[in-house]
A and B are shown apart, each in its own frame.
Chain A
Amino acid sequence: MPGTDSVIPRKLLRSSIFRLALFYTGLSTVSMLLLLVFIYWATAGYMAREIDATIDEEVLGLEEQYHNRGINGIKAGIEERISLSSNRDALYLLGDGRYQPMVGNLDRWPIAAKDKPGWLRFTLPGAADDDSPEVPARARSFDLPNGMHLLIGHDLRDLEATRGLFIDALGWSVALTLGIALGIGLIMSFRVSHRIETINQTSREIMEGDLSQRIPDLSSGDEFDQLASNLNRMLDRIQALMTSVHRVSDHIAHDLRTPLSRLRTRLEQIKNRAAGSAGDTVERAIEDVDDLLATFNALLRIARIESGSPASSFVVLDLQDLLRDLAELYEPVAADKEQQIEVLSRERSSVEGDRDLLFQVLANLVDNAIKYTPPGGTITLAAAASPAGSQVEVTDTGPGIPRDLREKVFQRFYRCDTSRSTTGSGLGLSLVRAIVDLHGARIRLSDNKPGLRVTIVFRPPPRDTESSGK
C-alpha cells in the first residue's frame, strides 16, 4: 500500500479531534516547561543565596581572625578550614600583592578577580582526581589593608548538578508528555473518526436511496450513541413520513385516478352510441381526460421515481446503443422539421441503469431539442467513456436556456416562455431530473453557442472493481 503513508497523515491532520489533541499536547508541554523553569529558577536561586550566605559567614569568621591575630590569623583560619573534610566545596586563597597564591586551596588567582574586589564568578580547572573538567565557582575577593588579596568562595558543583538534573527532567517530561498526549490523541481521533465515519457511511447510503439504513448503536451510552439514537429516531420519523407520502400518492392513484378512468370509460361508452357531432365532442372530452390522466400519471411517476431506490431492473448497458436507437426513432420527426440528428460517438460507454428509463430521459431531451430548434438546425447526440464515469450529451442549435433559468427548468410545470405556443406538460425535465438522480448521475445545462448543451455524467459502473477502491 504505497499510497496510505501519505494519505493517513493528511487525513489525520484534517481531523478536528487530532488537531485538538495536538493543541492540548502543545499546551501541556508549554505549561510543563514553565512549571519546571519556575521550580528550577526558585531552587537554583535559593541554592545561590545559600552559597552567598555561606561565603558571607566565612568572610565574617576570617574577618574576626584578622582582627584578633592579623594576617597570621587569616592564614591559620584558612588552613584550619581547608583541613576540615566537611568543607570541600569551600574555596580559599590568600595572595600577595601580585596575586601570587600564599595560602589556600586554589592553584592561582582567578584572572577575573584581579584588581576587582567584590563578587565574581569564574571557572575552576578540573581537579586531577575528578573527571569533570571545569567547575564553575562563585567567590568574593578583598584587598587587605597590607596589600594582600583574599578570596573566599564556593564551587557551584551542586548547583550545576541540580541544573543538569532539571534539564534531564525537563527533557524526559517533555518527551513523555508529547508521547503520551500524541498517543492518546491518535487513539482518540481514530476512535472518534471511526464513529463519525460510521455515521457518514450510513448517511451516504441513505442519500443514495436506502432509507432503511440505521446508524449502529454501540449502547455504551456515550454522546455518539446518543447522537446515533437521535439520528435513528429522526430517520424513523422521516421514513414514516415518506411511507405516508407514498400511501397518500397511492391513495391519489387509487382514489382519484379510478374515478377519472371511470369517467373515461363512461365517455367511451357514450362515444360508441353517439352519432355525428356529438361523437366528436365526446372524442375531444376523452382526449381532455387523457391529458388530465397523463399529467397526473406523470406527476405520480416522478414522485415514485424520486422516492425510489436503484431498482432490480438495473443492467449494464451501452449508451451508444441507446443513442443509435434514439436517433433512428426520432430521425423522421426531425426530418419533418428539416432538422438533422447526428450521433457522434464511436467508443462504447457503459453505464448501469434501467434501459427504458434512460431511454425516456434521452427521448425527452431529444424531443425538447426538436421542439425548440428552428428548421435547418442540428441535434447532436454524443456518448463518451472516461474513468470518472461515462457521459452523454444532447446538444441543439436552438435558442438555449438563459443561465439563470437553468435550474428552474427542472421544476414541475415550469415553462421557460409561457407565451411560447409549444405543447407539453412542463413535466418532461422534472422526469429527466428524477431519473438522473435515481441513477446517481448528474445533469448539467450549458451554452452550446448557439443552442443548448445537456450533459449527463454517470458514475462508473460498480463492477469495474479496479477503479473503485472504496
Chain B
Amino acid sequence: MRVLLIEDDDHLASYLKQGLQETGMVVDRAADGHDGLFLATGEPYDALIIDRMLPKLDGLSIVRTLRASDNHVPVLILSALGEVDDRVKGLRAGGDDYLVKPFAFSELHARLEALFRRGSSEAPLTRLSVVDLEMDLLSREVSRAGNPVELQPREFRLLEYLMRHAGQVVTRTMLLEHVWDYHFDPQTNVIDVHVSRLRAKIDRDFEPQLLETVRGAGYRLRDTA
C-alpha cells in the first residue's frame, strides 16, 4: 500500500511516516500544499492523508482540485478544527474521512485500513463469512459454526461492520459513525456495552473467541482461527 502524507508539522509527519512504515506501508511525505498536490496528481497512491491547514495551498483546496480532475483516490483529512460544520465541509470538499487532531495513531491506522478496504470492494456482497461465522445480508440471518444466532437489528449492523472489516482494528468512534451514524463524543463508553452484548451472543459458547478488544485502540474481529 502506497500512501501520501501531506503534513507541515515535521515531528508529527515523521512519527506518522515511521508508524505507517512499520505496518508495512510505503509512505511519501510532502511538507506543503503545492508539493502535495504535485505528488498526488503525478503518482498513483492508494490513499492520501492531508492536513487541513497547510502552507501555500490548504488541504481542502487540494481535495477539491483532485476531485475536479476526476481523481478518486481515498482521502483522509486531518484537522485541528473539529467544530460545528468543519467536518461537514471537509467531507463535502471530497474527503472520505475526517480525523480531528490530536488523535491516537491506532485511530489513524484503523481508518486508513478502512479506506483501503472501501476502495477495493466493488461488487455488492450478499454473504459475509469470517472463520465459522456466517452472515446472510439478504435474509439477515447469522450463524456461528452452523448454529443460528439471534441478533437485534443494531447488533446485526454492528456485526456486519466488524465482519466487513475483519482482521482490522475498528475504533469506537468508527463504530459510532458507521453503525449508529452519529458523530459525537460520548462521555462514557456506551459502545463497549453493545460490543460485550454482541460478544455474548457470538463468542460465549464457541471457540475460538473471535471478537477481541485491542487495548487503547478498539476492537478486532479475528479473521483467522
**CB neighbours of A363 from chain B (8 A):** 184, 186-187
* A286 x B197 contact (CB < 8 A): no
From B28-36, B56-64, B99-107, B163-171, the one touching the partner chain is B99-107
* B80 x A257 contact (CB < 8 A): yes
- Indicate if A10 sits at the interface (CB-CB under 8 A): no
**CB neighbours of B148 from chain A (8 A):** none
Assembled-state Cα–Cα distance A257/B100 (Å): 11
**CB neighbours of B125 from chain A (8 A):** none
Contact of A325 among B182, B185, B193, B197 (CB under 8 A): B182
* B104 x A268 contact (CB < 8 A): yes
Q: Report the minimal beta-carbon distance from A36 to chain B, rounded to whole angstroms.
A: 70
Q: Report the minimal beta-carbon distance from A136 to chain B, rounded to whole angstroms.
A: 88
Assembled-state Cα–Cα distance A312/B101 (Å): 22
Assembled-state Cα–Cα distance A297/B80 (Å): 10
For the complex, count residues of B whose C-beta is within 8 A of A.
33
* A265 x B182 contact (CB < 8 A): no
**CB neighbours of B84 from chain A (8 A):** 304-305, 308, 311, 313, 354, 357, 438
Closest to A371 in B: B188
Known: A283-B216, A297-B82. A257 touches B187 (CB 8 A): no
- Indicate if B140 sits at the interface (CB-CB under 8 A): no
- Indicate if A343 sits at the interface (CB-CB under 8 A): no
Closest to A312 in B: B85
Known: A264-B102, A301-B82, A308-B84. A332 touches B12 (CB 8 A): no
Q: How large is the interface on A (under 10, 10 to 19, 20 to 34, 35 or more residues)?
A: 35 or more
Q: Report the minimal beta-carbon distance from A299 to chain B, rounded to whole angstroms.
A: 12
Within 8 A of A (CB), among B75-127: 80-85, 88-89, 100-105
**CB neighbours of A354 from chain B (8 A):** 84-85
**CB neighbours of B12 from chain A (8 A):** 258, 261-262, 265
- Indicate if B154 sits at the interface (CB-CB under 8 A): yes
Assembled-state Cα–Cα distance A325/B81 (Å): 27
Contact of B187 among A250, A329, A424 (CB under 8 A): A424
- Indicate if B225 sits at the interface (CB-CB under 8 A): no
Known: A257-B102, A258-B9, A305-B83. A367 touches B187 (CB 8 A): yes
**CB neighbours of B9 from chain A (8 A):** 258
Q: Mark A396-437, 1 if CB is under 8 A from B, else 0.
A: 000000000000000000000000000111001000000000
Within 8 A of A (CB), among B1-48: 9, 11-12, 15
**CB neighbours of B204 from chain A (8 A):** none
* A359 x B188 contact (CB < 8 A): no
Assembled-state Cα–Cα distance A354/B101 (Å): 22
Q: Which residues of B contact A (CB under 8 A)?
A: 9, 11-12, 15, 80-85, 88-89, 100-105, 154, 180, 182-188, 190, 193-194, 197, 215-216
Closest 3 CB pairs of A and B: A261-B102, A332-B193, A313-B85
Q: What 11 new A-B contacts, CB under 8 Å, besides A258-B9, A325-B182?
A: A254-B80, A286-B216, A290-B104, A304-B83, A305-B84, A308-B83, A329-B180, A354-B85, A357-B84, A359-B182, A367-B188
* 26 intermolecular pairs with C-beta atoms under 8 Å apart: A257-B102, A258-B12, A261-B12, A261-B103, A262-B12, A264-B102, A283-B215, A286-B216, A298-B185, A300-B83, A312-B85, A312-B89, A313-B85, A332-B190, A332-B197, A333-B193, A336-B193, A354-B84, A354-B85, A359-B184, A363-B184, A364-B187, A367-B187, A367-B188, A371-B188, A438-B84
